[in-house]
């Protein structure tokens, strides 16, 4: 029998919260007693009052995630699911829900209570069609204004629609494969709303983007002052992909900034609801493509929570958890090195610092490739463990026609020891030595893009952005998972919340990751030869009925997966809480009063990836 990792007991605060709320709100608050579900359900007309009480009286000051679910044929309602936390407490996460009919889907906005709900409610409005009364700017966010329908609803089908769930009948089991586009006549690959014609069509998208951006003439102290609107992106070298910012300027000073996104949106979650459970694992690689192994981690945790509700679940083995943490912390270092390199690009040190970072990143990717078979799209985690054990040797064989290819054949553990104890520590200290006191960096980063502690919490910032503002909230400690409770490390915190502290916090976190990795090395030796996967490997997984929220401390912040199962082999709901997406909620706040040149640096200090942002 393989040694299994210890089970972490987590307290459920629902009973205590329910009692406190029912004393004040009575039957407007009830427990969610559906099989496999947890948390409380709040009447829609009392949602804002209950949310205010949760924040002010019970300490739930942080909205981690807001997800919408379509229960077509299973109650025929839409449901908003809010995952709440107290950033100053450990393991008291709460689930709150509100339901609304599908035909008239309306709920009050909780943005006045938790401003971090802003983009998340817009996403639910855009993709699920829930109208949030009182939202300050309820417009589409991933699709364009004027798009017909709400793509995440269960009854919405695209032009190339085949079936709701995989494997499609056209692929399995006979193997007589055809694809829907083969049977779609050319020109019929787009669906238009009923009655749509081009005769009276007027594009709405651009007009809506510029609404409320204060273009015009203002008179101050008897002098007329013009404000202008500038569109930065989506084809801009410093927006880190096809991302756009519409900025209102008073001279060179930013008055208002509106992020515009969705140019890379491919309805990742709809794809996820058609895939099998295990079939989603390689799709998580494509979210934050710098951190595929961390993306795997959060999704594995979510599905394992569902599987744990069943009778035959076997938790991951101890060796599997050791390997998981190894991969996660190497990924954190990889991400932070490159994030600092790109930030320096944005501040004007074009490519030289980034090249230094990429050299070290390549060494980590060499290890990932030796273990998983891929450098970036690793598809390595499995429910119950990992796909492969570490190889005894890292071997590269030169191709006959490529005389310049370097041949490697070395002991894997020796390579890891050198990487973790020698090469990476030197790289971190070199980065610190070359950059931290650089006059250009200090002038452009100190007191620029400040996000206060209170605003960071209110806007649901996560990861280095949150901790650089003085909030010691790290899921590895605040809601521990895997073997992190057994490891000795500190939660890195800075106090000023500016670009400079967001740079420094990543140096701090790399040092803490190295501290963790040095503890992992002897654990790898102790568990050598032990199973890396619990139970029997299967190609299909069926989960018990219920819901779960699996989240991990991704290098960019909390990466969460909210999944709902109806007992089948495919997710009924699959939602990604993407830190790149939610961390941008505070971008306007961080940029106001600064200059155009500062915007690029502020955005770079957040560290976004468009694959995760747009999904």
* CA 454 to the chain's CA centroid: 22
Distance (Å, rounded) from C-alpha 280 to C-alpha 274? 9
pLDDT digits (tens, 9 = 90+) for 295-352: 999 999 999 999 988 888 888 999 999 999 999 999 999 999 999 988 888 888 778 8
**Overall fold of domain 268-614:** Cytochrome-c3 Hydrogenase; chain B (1.10.645)
**3-class DSSP state for residue 57?**
coil
pLDDT given at position 3:
65
Closest among 448, 554, 456 to 503, alpha carbons compared: 448
What secondary structure does DSSP assign to 135-188, as a single string?
-TT---SSSPTT--S-TTSTT---TT---SSSSPTTTSSS-----GGGGSPTT-
- For the chain, which ranges sit under pLDDT 50? 1, 217-220
In words, the CATH class of domain 14-133 is alpha beta
- Are 277 and 574 a contacting pair, CB within 8 Å? no
pLDDT digits (tens, 9 = 90+) for 345-378: 888 877 888 888 888 898 999 899 888 888 888 8
- Are 42 and 96 a contacting pair, CB within 8 Å? yes
pLDDT given at position 402:
61
| 3-state percent breakdown (helix, strand, coil) of the chain, nearest 5 | 40, 15, 45
pLDDT given at position 30:
92
The domains spanning 14-133 and 268-614 adopt the same CATH topology: no
pLDDT given at position 219:
43
Terminal C-alpha separation, the chain = 40
pLDDT given at position 43:
92
pLDDT given at position 454:
94
pLDDT given at position 582:
92
Write out the two tokens for 43: 């009447």
pTM above the 0.85 mark? yes
Query: What does each C-alpha distance from 520 to 15, 292, 481, 531, 613 come to in angstroms?
Result: 38, 20, 16, 17, 32
Residue ranges per structural domain of the chain: 14-133, 212-260, 268-614
Whether cis (ω within 30° of 0) applies to the bond prior to 84 is no
- Are 534 and 315 a contacting pair, CB within 8 Å? yes
Write out the two tokens for 114: 């938790």
* HSE (side-chain half, CA atoms, 13 Å) at 247: 27
Distance (Å, rounded) from C-alpha 580 to C-alpha 614? 9
pLDDT given at position 401:
62
Distance (Å, rounded) from C-alpha 427 to C-alpha 217? 51
pLDDT given at position 232:
83
Write out the two tokens for 237: 């070298």
CB-count burial class (<10 Å; 0-12, 13-18, 19+) for 586: buried
Provide CB contacts within 8 A for 120, sequence distance 6+.
63, 65, 66, 460, 582
pLDDT digits (tens, 9 = 90+) for 204-225: 777 777 776 655 544 445 555 5
């Amino acid at each position: 029998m393989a040694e299994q990792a210890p089970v972490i007991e987590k307290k459920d605060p629902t009973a205590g919260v329910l009692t406190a709320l029912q004393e004040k709100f009575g039957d407007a608050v009830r427990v969610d007693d559906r099989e496999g579900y947890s948390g409380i359900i709040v009447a829609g007309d009392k949602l804002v009052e209950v949310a205010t009480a949760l924040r002010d009286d019970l300490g739930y000051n942080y909205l981690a995630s807001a997800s919408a679910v379509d229960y077509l044929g299973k109650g025929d309602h839409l449901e908003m699911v809010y995952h709440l936390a107290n950033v100053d407490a450990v393991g008291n996460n709460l689930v709150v829900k509100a339901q609304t009919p599908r035909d008239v889907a309306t709920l009050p906005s909780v943005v006045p209570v938790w401003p971090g709900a802003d983009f998340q409610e817009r996403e639910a409005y855009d993709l699920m069609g829930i109208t949030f009364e009182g939202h300050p700017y309820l417009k589409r966010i991933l699709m364009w204004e004027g798009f017909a329908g709400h793509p995440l609803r269960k009854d919405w089908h695209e032009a190339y629609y085949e079936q709701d769930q995989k494997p499609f009948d056209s692929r399995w089991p006979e193997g007589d494969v055809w694809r829907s586009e083969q049977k779609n006549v050319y020109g019929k690959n787009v669906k238009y709303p009923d009655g749509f014609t081009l005769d009276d069509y007027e594009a709405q998208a651009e007009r809506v983007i510029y609404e409320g951006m204060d273009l015009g003439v203002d008179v101050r102290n008897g002098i007329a002052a013009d404000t202008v609107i500038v569109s930065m992106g989506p084809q801009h070298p410093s927006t880190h992909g096809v991302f756009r910012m519409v900025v209102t300027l008073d001279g060179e000073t930013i008055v208002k900034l509106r992020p515009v996104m969705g140019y890379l949106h491919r309805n990742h979650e709809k794809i996820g609801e058609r895939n099998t459970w295990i079939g989603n694992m390689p799709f998580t690689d494509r979210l934050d493509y710098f951190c595929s192994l961390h993306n795997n981690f959060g999704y594995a945790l979510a599905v394992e929570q569902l599987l744990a509700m069943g009778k035959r679940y076997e938790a991951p083995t101890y060796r599997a958890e050791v390997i998981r943490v190894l991969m996660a912390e190497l990924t954190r270092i990889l991400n932070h090195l490159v994030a600092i390199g790109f930030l320096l690009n944005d501040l004007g040190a074009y490519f030289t610092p980034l090249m230094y970072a990429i050299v070290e990143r390549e060494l980590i990717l060499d290890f990932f490739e030796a273990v998983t078979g891929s450098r970036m799209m690793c598809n390595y985690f499995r429910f119950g463990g990992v796909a492969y054990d570490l190889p005894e040797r890292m071997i590269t064989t030169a191709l006959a026609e490529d005389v310049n290819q370097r041949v490697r054949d070395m002991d894997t553990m020796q390579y890891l020891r050198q990487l973790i104890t020698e090469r990476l520590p030197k790289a971190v200290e070199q980065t610190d030595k070359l950059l931290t006191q650089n006059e250009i960096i200090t002038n452009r980063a100190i007191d620029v893009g400040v996000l206060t502690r209170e605003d960071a919490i209110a806007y649901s910032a996560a990861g280095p952005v949150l901790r650089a503002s003085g909030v010691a909230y790290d899921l590895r400690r605040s809601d521990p998972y895997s073997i992190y409770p057994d490891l000795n490390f500190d939660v890195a915190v800075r106090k000023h919340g500016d670009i400079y502290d967001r740079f420094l916090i990543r140096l701090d976190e790399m040092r803490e990751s190295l501290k963790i990795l040095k503890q992992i090395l002897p654990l790898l030796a102790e568990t050598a030869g032990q199973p890396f996967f619990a139970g029997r490997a299967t190609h299909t997984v069926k989960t018990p009925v219920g819901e779960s929220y699996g989240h991990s401390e991704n290098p960019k912040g909390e990466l969460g997966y909210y999944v709902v199962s109806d007992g089948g082999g495919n997710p009924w709901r699959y939602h990604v809480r993407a830190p790149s997406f939610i961390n941008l909620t505070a971008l306007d706040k961080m940029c106001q009063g600064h200059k155009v040149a500062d915007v690029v640096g502020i955005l770079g200090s957040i560290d976004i990836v468009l694959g995760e942002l747009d999904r």
